Chain A
């Protein structure tokens, strides 16, 4: 592919890709790959650490402004998968992949694509709250804009909007200059969400964002997820079945059997996965028979 593409050419490439034929039918998400309402999808994705194949044949599409939950037992590659979606995977020594990850129709692993640019469009919230401890609450919210060297006006407005959307504003509005490490764990995680929102990503990846939090904080973050999904695609890894049902529109079930590379066993609307799963393994997992 030509490395010096104009925006118009990119548009064209995108539109060509968007009329592609869907891949293998059994893996197809409710929203067909190639659908214009999908701007993030993986095609025949394989992921390795060194020589070890971790994920195999993952075909998933994430419809625009929906919430997709990734569920599955520990160690089945969900976190690895989610890190592939914004090119964080490549920071791990020995990491490799095959297949394609399309963002707005373009393979984000194409040599012409700037990974830094991808990460501003596909943001990430991590398992453990990780605000920058040397910065104030305000500076944490603005940190992404500075890190990505994005131009912005009216920082106070950005700080307020993002903190409101992460439902943290009322708790911190009087101490925006306090250190981020003075916040509780749940507040820190909401600050991390606010920080991610500030760079206006199109997709937000969340890797078990509530696993280290108490039920009250978890509930507030779930409310935030519902709220931000009105104009953002959310992909959330969770071990909490109830949470998956509460927050997600779609659910994908990952499973690695007997040390084999993990695959997506089933993906469908969340209701279907939990109420009438097609695969017996999904049924067993969501009903707590293993995992």
Chain B
């Protein structure tokens, strides 16, 4: 018998079987006291974020439960909001115009922001001299850091009069297209203007992500495209953008999450209309936003209305969570594709 077999004998008879059980290795365990303290605090920090998320969800769900139970599914699909009454049984809380408005605003904001962001990122990565690209990076970061209240005030005082002019022009020349119809002769406080303000807020998010993924286009692919006589536009369109597509989509989803959850800025620039849904007339001074509704109504709300507002918050929270999960999934998938 060989030495090896002797060794196996010592370990016990199980190991002599033809199919040995594989032993897998986990992460290395902390052994020293400082290491244990370190991993302990890391675990606490990691769990605390999860705990906060669950705690908020739990709070929103439990405290809005009576309102949700009373309204049923029409809490989401209905178009009536009657609050502020002494008799709670007469109050009705339904958020469909607000919920739909949130998505309309966010979708329009994405439509406005994506081309600007992607072109800006292409400029920063492929065209601008290094110094200008660095300066632009700082500008974009600062833009991302402007508080939304400030953007809201700016949107109201400065941007709305300008965009009102755009809206009037669009209505004048393209008014026959249903989405540009406006019969109210008021062109402010519309989803159109709101979406521009939101767009300005999400341009930095999408730009930063798009710049990162575009800058990671492998040099050998860029060389290949240029070596074949690729123009700058051809190279960007056929090589860099397909390579960055997944990442850019992820950035767009992050922007969408921000646009969906935006509160104060929208409050400054949009008319909230509760009793009907403005489905597509984006120049009309009628719109909705779940987040803005919450701050608009919260101050004078009855206890039941507060329950309904918390319910609206819950719905928004869950939707934003879903959008962010999708974004994470897309970004992770594109990272895997790049590695492969």
Contacts and interface: CB of A to CB of B under 8 A. Distances in A.
B7 to A, nearest CB: 40
Residues of B in contact with A, size category:
20 to 34
Contacts of A149: 231, 234
Contacts of B340: 181
A287 interface: no
Interface string B223-237: 111111111001100
A117 B229 contact: yes
A195 B229 CA distance: 12
B66 interface: no
B230 A130 contact: no
Given A130-B221, A134-B243, A148 B231 contact: yes
B255 to A, nearest CB: 24
B295 interface: no
B228 A130 contact: no
B242 interface: yes
B243 A124 contact: no
A1 interface: no
A261 interface: no
Nearest to B227: A124
B220 to A, nearest CB: 4
Q: Is the interface of B mostly helix, strand, loop or mixed?
A: helix
B85 interface: no
B224 A132 contact: yes
Interface string B242-264: 11000000000000000000000
Interface stretch (A98-106, A139-147, A237-245): A139-147
A123 interface: yes
Contacts of A120: 228-229
Interface in B281-340: 340
B238 interface: yes
Nearest to A201: B229
Contacts of B225: 132, 143, 147
A192 interface: yes
A119 B226 contact: yes
Contacts of A131: 224
Nearest to B241: A134
- Residue of B218, B225, B229 ringed by the most chain A CB atoms within 10 A: B229
A147 B223 contact: no
B239 interface: yes
A181 B218 CA distance: 14
A124 B224 CA distance: 8
B284 to A, nearest CB: 42
A128 interface: yes
Interface string A157-199: 0000000000000000000000001000000000010011001
A119 B223 contact: no
Contacts of B130: 93
A132 B239 contact: yes
Nearest to B242: A134
A126 to B, nearest CB: 6
B229 A116 contact: yes
Contact of B226 (A88, A133, A150): A88
A123 B229 CA distance: 8
Given A128-B220, A149-B231, A143 B226 contact: no
Contact of A146 (B223, B224, B226, B234): B234
A255 B221 CA distance: 30
Contacts of B226: 88, 91, 119
Given A118-B229, A147-B231, 10 more contacts: A88-B226, A119-B227, A120-B229, A123-B228, A124-B223, A128-B220, A130-B218, A132-B238, A146-B234, A195-B224
* 3 closest A-B pairs by CB: A120-B229, A147-B230, A148-B229
25 contacts: A88-B223, A91-B223, A91-B226, A116-B230, A118-B229, A119-B226, A119-B229, A123-B228, A123-B229, A126-B223, A128-B220, A130-B220, A130-B223, A131-B224, A132-B239, A132-B242, A134-B243, A143-B238, A144-B229, A144-B230, A147-B228, A147-B231, A148-B230, A148-B231, A195-B228
Interface of A: 86, 88, 91, 93, 116-120, 123-124, 126, 128, 130-135, 143-144, 146-150, 181, 192, 195-196, 199
